[in-house]
Structure 1
Amino acid sequence: MVTLENELLKASFVLKGAELQSLKSKTADLEYIWDGNPKDWAKHSPVLFPIVGALKDNAYVYHDERYELPRHGFARDMEFELESKSANEVVFTLRSSTETKKHYPFDFTLSLIYTLKSHGLSCTYRVHNPSDTDLLFSVGGHPAFATPVSSGLSYEDYYIRFNQDEGLVINKIADNLISDEVQTITLKDKTLSLKHELFYEDALVMKSLKSNKISLQNKVNSHGLHFSFEGFPYFGIWAAKDADFICLEPWCGIADSVQHNGTLSDKEGIVILSAEESWQRSWQVDIF
């Protein structure tokens, strides 16, 4: 376990998947990250790389070769290196290997950089292409926040407030793929009330979210969080069936559509990174 700590907060991580497993308010003695109860969902905040979501038939074609990848890719299940650590920042790194190239024929360096702030934590995904050819990838966040955080509350006491959206256009999922069907959820005062039934048909997937800041709050007390993100064209909100958490998921990439032809370069949302170039995106959570 690797930790970062200041007067107000303590964050903990593991090398497997460079996963954030705890973000705790020391002053309020409250844990904001889902505890990973395997009865519902055994993860906390996995990184999605080199794909986001599922591939059609769990496979893709690149340069006339067929490769298989599981949903959300492989990085979340691999051991990262502890690249560096300071008082308020830790860097975990995963590099391409003989093993990764069995499923993904690219050279890459993926770094997760966590920086502890006065009242929160930022997570930066940095991808570097060390080769002399293009690197094709997707990357996304999947942090799960406990709901409720404090005792005496229920899931239905919580709501999500969007800073810009009056409604949500949801792209429906069919067999883990993006279908042609869309649904519009009208928000009252830019607010979505949480209920378990929202996720009975899988995640709420959005291609046109305007907001770059989402607040998770409740109707009973003043504890909650602000979740900020920039430069992610897709966003997902998800929880396992009847589980007491909510995932806020900024994505650069999306699951295949039901009509996708299987060619990686034609995949919606794929990022193409030129030789020797680097790319990064960040999200931040501030707790209160």
Structure 2
Amino acid sequence: MINLENEYLKVSFASKGAELQSIKSKQNDKEYLWDGNPDFWAKHSPVLFPIVGGLKNNTYYFEDQKYQLSRHGFARDHEFQVTQVSTTEASFTFRHTPETLKIYPFKFSLKISYALKDNTLTCTYAVSNPDDTNGLLFSIGGHPAFALPATEQLKYSDYFLEFNTDDELVYHKIEGDLIDNETMTIKLTNKTLPLKHELFYEDALVFKNLKSNLISIKNTKNNHGLTFQFEQFPFFGIWAAKDADFVCLEPWCGIADGIDHNQDLKNKEGIIELAPGSEWQRKWSVVCF
């Protein structure tokens, strides 16, 4: 475990997957991250790389070659090299290997950095293409699960999401890990979405045109919660395992295959092409209160 700490928060990470494991407030002793209960979902905040979501038949084609990748890619299952810069900053790096090149024929360097400042944790993804001649095709996304604990005072339906811009949510349904063309619309009252377990019984809500860049998790019983901030992520998912007391807020640069996709990686919706020698960055942050 790698730990970072300041006067407001104490956070923990695993080197496997560079995965965030805990966000604990030192002000109110509240744990903001899901505990990874395997009866529901054994992860906390995996990185999705080099794909987001599922591929049709777990298969893609690149330059007439057939490859297979499981849902959300492989980075979350690999050990990252750890570099701890200070008590409030840490970074983790994962690079291509002979094994990854067999299923994903691209050289890459993925660096995930975390930084604490006051009551805010920021996560930065930096993808580099070390190849001298070939472009790098990839997608990446976050999958942090935030705890919505049931207590004598609080139940899941007391929590709600508050969006800074959207008055309605237009989402795509998921069919067999793929994105359906059909959309559904949820009208919001005062830009808020009340949470209920039934929202996620048919998998995640997937958005291609979310306007908001701030989503707060609040409840009707007290003033504690968090604000999730993200920029330049064109896709977004909201999900929870069936009847589990958490909600995932998932900023994505990339998306699962559509049901009509031809499986050519170059034509995959949301795929990013990074030129040789180039670097690409995105970040999201959590403000706890």
- TM class by shorter chain equals over 0.9
In the other structure, the counterpart of 2:172 is 171
Kept after mapping to 2: 8 A contact 1:89/1:113:
yes
| Aligned-residue RMSD, C-alpha | 0.9
Report how far residue 150 of structure 1 moved: 6.6
**Which range is displaced more, 75-84 or 11-20?**
75-84
Matched residue, 1:193: 194
| Residue 22 (structure 2) aligns with | 22
- For 1:150 and 1:24, locate their aligned partners in 2 and report how far apart those are by CA, in whole Å: 18
2:241 alignment partner in structure 1: 240
Deviation at 1:8, TM superposition (A): 1.3
Distance (whole Å) between structure 2 residues aligned to residue 16 and residue 171 of structure 1: 31
The answer as to 2:260 corresponding to 1:259 is yes
Separation of aligned partners in 2, 1:129 and 1:149? 44
Pairwise mapping of residues 44-59 of structure 1 onto structure 2 (< 5 A)? 44-59=44-59
Q: 1:261 to 1:158 in 2, by over 3 A?
A: same
Q: How does 1:137-286 map onto structure 2 within 5 Å?
A: 137-148=138-149, 152-286=153-287
- Structure 1 counterpart of 2:136, one-letter code: L
Is the Cα–Cα contact under 8 Å of residues 234 and 252 in structure 2 kept in the other structure? yes
Query: Partners of 1:216 and 1:30 in 2: how far apart?
Result: 14
Deviations 1:50-95 (A, max 9, x none): 0000000101000111110000000001000003421211000000
TM-score (norm 1): 0.99
Of residues 84-93 and 98-107 in structure 1, the stretch that sits farther from structure 2 once superposed is: 84-93
Q: Residue in 2 aligned with 1:65?
A: 65
Unaligned 5+ residue runs, structure 2? none
> 1:79 is paired with a residue of what secondary structure?
coil
Match of 1:79 in 2: 79
Letter in 1 for 2:130: P
Aligned residue type for 2:196: K
The residue aligned with 2:128 is: 128
- TM alignment of 1:107-118, pairs within 5 A: 107-118=107-118
Secondary structure of 2:198's partner? helix
The 2-side partners of 1:176 and 1:155 are apart by: 26
How far apart, in 2, do the equivalents of 1:67 and 1:85 lie? 37
How far did 1:149 drift? 7.6
Structure 1: tracts of 5 or more residues without a match:
none
**2:105 aligned residue:** 105
Q: 1: distance between equivalents of 2:213 and 2:151?
A: 26
The aligned amino acid for 2:280 is W
CA distance in 1, matches of 2:172, 2:280: 27
Query: Are the aligned partners of 2:115 and 2:122 in contact in 1 as well (CA < 8 Å)?
Result: yes
Q: Distance in 2 between matches of 1:107 and 1:151?
A: 51
CA distance in 2, matches of 1:125, 1:35: 23
- DSSP 3-state at the match of 1:33: coil
Misfit runs of 4+, over 6 Å: none
Overall identity of the aligned pairs, in %: 61
Counterpart Cα distance in 2 of 1:14 and 1:150: 28
Partner deviation per Cα, 1:217-258 (whole Å, 9 max, x = no partner): 000001000000000000000000000000000000000000
Cα distance per residue 1:176-233 (max 9 Å; x no partner): 1001110011000100000000000000000000000000000000100000000000
8 A contact 2:153–2:221 mirrored in 1:
no
Partner of 1:35, secondary structure, is coil
Name the SS of the counterpart of 2:66 in structure 1.
Answer: strand
CA–CA distance in structure 1, aligned partners of residues 112 and 166 of structure 2: 29
Cα distance, 1:150–1:118 mapped onto 2, change above 3 Å: farther
What amino acid does structure 1 have at the position aligned with 2:231? E
How many pairs does the alignment contain?
288
SS across alignment from 1:165: coil
Q: Distance in 2 between matches of 1:242 and 1:232?
A: 28
Structure 1 residue 152, shift from structure 2 partner: 2.7
The offset of 1:151, in angstroms, is 6.0
Q: TM (normalized to structure 2)?
A: 0.98
